[in-house]
Amino acid sequence: MDRAEIDRRIRTLIEPFNKNGVTITDDTTFQGDLEFDSLTVMDFVAAIEDEFDIIISMNQQAEIETYGQLVDAVKKLVDAE
């Protein structure tokens, strides 16, 4: 799967969690810009995991701060399948 396709799918998944309608770029941060709390993170990560049939462990989540980093991390996990 190419990066653009992963990006497109995650953009759809993030919509219900983007309560303030923030414009999302690769530099958008989950904590700062999107104001995700730990519960939102869990639900959002679960949605991505189900969509791509992958696991993003908490250790990996800790390394991801921006939307762009998330897309890259998912691409890596999908490629490794």
Per CB under 8 A, 1 contacts other proteins: no
Q: Which of 2, 59, 63, 79 binds other proteins (CB under 8 A)?
A: 59
* 57: nearest Cα among 45, 66, 65: 45
Nearer to other proteins, 24 or 52 (CB): 52
Stretch that binds other proteins, among 14-22, 27-35, 45-53, 67-75 (CB under 8 A): 45-53
Count CA within 13 A, CB hemisphere, residue 20: 9
Judged by CB under 8 A, which stretch of 3-11, 14-22, 47-55, 66-74 contacts other proteins? 47-55
Contact residues for other proteins (CB under 8 A)? 37-39, 42-43, 46, 49-50, 53-55, 57-60
